[in-house]
Amino acid sequence: MAAPRDTPQRRAIEAVLAAADGFCTAQDVHARLRAEGHGTGLATVYRHLAALVEQGRVDVVTSPGGEARYRSCSGSHHHHLTCTECGRSVEVRIDAIERACARVGAEHGFRDVHHTIELSGVCDAHPAP
Amino acid sequence: MAAPRDTPQRRAIEAVLAAADGFCTAQDVHARLRAEGHGTGLATVYRHLAALVEQGRVDVVTSPGGEARYRSCSGSHHHHLTCTECGRSVEVRIDAIERACARVGAEHGFRDVHHTIELSGVCDAHPAP
DNA sequence: ACTGATTTTGAGAATCATTCTCATTCTCAG
DNA sequence: CTGAGAATGAGAATGATTCTCAAAATCAGT
């Protein structure tokens, strides 16, 4: 299951992810490709998505509903703040959190500590209470 | 889909979760109940697990593989530090993170900001490098 | 360009966790 | 004891993801 090289399909998939400004489901990507006329198969979409994630060019978040959501992103370490109303998401970097996570891990005798952080809320494009 | 009241099945499920000292899959819970002789059905396990989560008596984490993992926990706000080797997990509370998350949300114009944090690493019960 | 070898593709089948359906069983008040 | 409503559990249904495999695209060397 070697990582597929660069192909037109991969470029199309990356284009869709770049165009969406929030996370989208693999199924979404597939549907949009179809809508644009590309006859790309579902299996191919999953293959490339997995490869892109492996390369760090795309982020995945498995939502509580059990589906994976993908989003193209910068390669460096960061987290996402996603709007629950419109799906728009922003990359954020919070040093305080990085430090706190490392410290807590050490306090409990854990090493090689990794963390996953997802922030969600309602962005200012929606009516305030 | 009203929450099921307290029943022998629910007690059995809570017992299994309490006995495991890490997260377990709904399927795991079901298998263990079967192994113990209870003829509890899978649907019932899912129903109670969902209800317990709703009540805040149990935590869920949807793992990257797309399966939900459950663990009984204290009702108050906290996060988990889980060992990737043995699955043992510890509840942690990190004020610095709570504050940082709230601040970042505000900075980007988001309100009602929630966060999900998962910490993982290798605990001291395993050979050090 | 032509050949052969290798990789990628895509349609549909196969998986697997989770949810739904519904007839049966339980619980409890009266 | 009786009846209403809640809970149960077996199996079907769903839906996302993965696998299979034959056909199509790509590439190196000529």
More confident residue, B121 or A129: B121
Domains of chain A: 8-72 (1.10.10.10), 79-121 (3.30.1490.190)
Which amino acid does the sequence have at B70? Y
User: Do residue A105 and residue B119 have CB atoms under 8 angstroms apart?
Assistant: yes
User: Do residue A120 and residue B114 have CB atoms under 8 angstroms apart?
Assistant: yes
Cβ-Cβ pairs closer than 8 A, A with B, add up to 122
Q: Which of A50, A108, A25, A60 is nearest to B62 (CA)?
A: A60
Mean pLDDT of B46-71: 91
- A71: pLDDT strictly greater than 60: yes
Within 8 A by CB and 6+ apart from A119, the residues are A79, A80, A81, A82, A92, B101, B104, B105, B110, B113, B114, B115
The gap between A124 CA and D25 C1' (Å) is 48
- A4: pLDDT strictly greater than 70: no
The pLDDT value recorded for residue A129 is 66
Give how far B39 is from chain A: nearest CA, Å: 27
Q: Specify the pTM.
A: 0.84
Q: Which of A62, A27, A51, A20 is nearest to A41 (CA)?
A: A27
- Residues across chain A: 129
Least confident of A59-63, A69-73, B5-9, B69-73: B5-9
Do A16 and A52 touch, CB atoms closer than 8 A? no
The pLDDT value recorded for residue B13 is 95
Whether nucleic acid strand C comes within 7 Å of the CB of A6, the answer is no
Q: What average pLDDT does chain B have? A: 89
